[in-house]
Amino acid sequence: MIVGLPGELLGFPWARELERRLEAAFPGARIRRAPARAPAAPPLSEGDACYPYKRMIRSALGLLAESDALVLPRLLRLDGHLMCPNFRALPDIVALNWRRLHGEEPPMAAPAVEVADGRDAEAAFEAVIRELRRLPGGRRAEAARAQPPRPAPGTAPPRAEDGRRRAIALVGHPYILSTPALHKGVPDLVRRAGFRVVTPEGLPFRTLDRLARDRDYYAKVLYWRGARECLGAFRHFTEVRPAAGLIYLIAFNCGVDALLRLELAALHKDLARRVPFMVLVVDEHTQHEHVATRVEAFLDIVDGTAHA
Ligand code: SF4
């Protein structure tokens, strides 16, 4: 049995743990994170959705076509905070498109997920496993030789590439930072210029949330999980472990980012001027040359700051 689990969701620790649980519960299954063929735009309009959301829809449909079942949890709340409403509708949009394309129900495990603590997390793993078990092939994949879950990788410290080089922090939604089509090669551009890249990956969400809590009165209480993660990461890389520069990668048409970019710009002006800061908007139509020019100019400023 081949089970699809869109890689864009694996930026969330709960989803990474879900992948391990699925491997253990369905030893006869192979988990595929991305379709082999480049996902195409779906027949039903994606409207004015952000590019990350379009990618998620396309990846899910591509995986459905190449797998026996798709795991697409309806993420409502993670770590006690609301997810962007797009995640709520994701399984519906994918199912609508699949029905339009194939005239049948998609083989999909998509229970609603609301996680505030460990007990919720366990209940949500169970709900996904239960739904997958009911799909054709689920029982067979489960009956294969049972195996314990592979050990959790634990919380890795932010990736240190070469401690002697100065660090540029990249902040943004985890799926943007981990998907080349979404981050548009920014990490490579930074590395090629002789800097190392640090991201919030590996920093526990509760640490970032605590940092966000100290500042989120600035405009209003930010209740979206993604906003809290980015605000906490901004404070970490400007105050706790200041980087040489910080690039905030945001998605065109993202309401969460639209609010937060103002908040971060104000915070930067008041508290973090010594760390050069740039907002880079990424979209489906963003040209590589445009990104390269912006990053190059920003790194010149970082160099200028260091030599001033
Ligand atoms: S948080 Fe923003 S980038 Fe992420 S899915 Fe929602 S609108 Fe898109």
Protein residue with least CA distance to atom 1, ligand 1: 84
pLDDT of the residue at 195: 95
Ligand 1 atom closest to the CA of 50, numbered from 1: 8
CA distance 177 to 180: 8
pLDDT of the residue at 271: 79
Ligand 1 atom closest to the CA of 251, numbered from 1: 3
pLDDT of the residue at 174: 96
Tell which one of 75, 94, 254, 284 to mutate to probe ligand 1, the residue whose CB is within 8 A of the most ligand atoms: 254
| Residue 82 CA, distance from chain mean position | 14
pLDDT of the residue at 221: 79
Ligand 1 atom closest to the CA of 253, numbered from 1: 7
pLDDT of the residue at 260: 92
Pocket of ligand 1 (CB under 6 A): 50, 52-53, 84, 86, 173, 226, 251, 254-257
Per-residue tens of pLDDT for the chain, all 308 residues: 899 999 999 999 999 999 999 999 998 899 999 999 877 788 776 778 899 999 999 999 999 999 999 999 999 999 999 999 999 999 999 999 999 999 999 999 999 999 999 999 999 999 999 999 998 877 777 776 566 666 666 555 445 445 568 999 999 999 999 999 899 999 999 999 999 999 999 899 999 999 998 877 666 778 899 999 999 999 999 999 999 999 999 999 999 999 899 999 999 998 778 899 999 999 888 888 899 999 999 999 998 865 55
pLDDT of the residue at 66: 94
Q: Look up residue 131 and give its amino acid.
A: E
Place of tokens 């409403």: 85
pLDDT of the residue at 208: 96
Ligand 1 center–CA 189 separation, angstroms: 24
Q: Name all domains of the chain by residue range, CATH numbers in brackets.
A: 2-143 (3.40.50), 167-307 (3.40.50.11900)
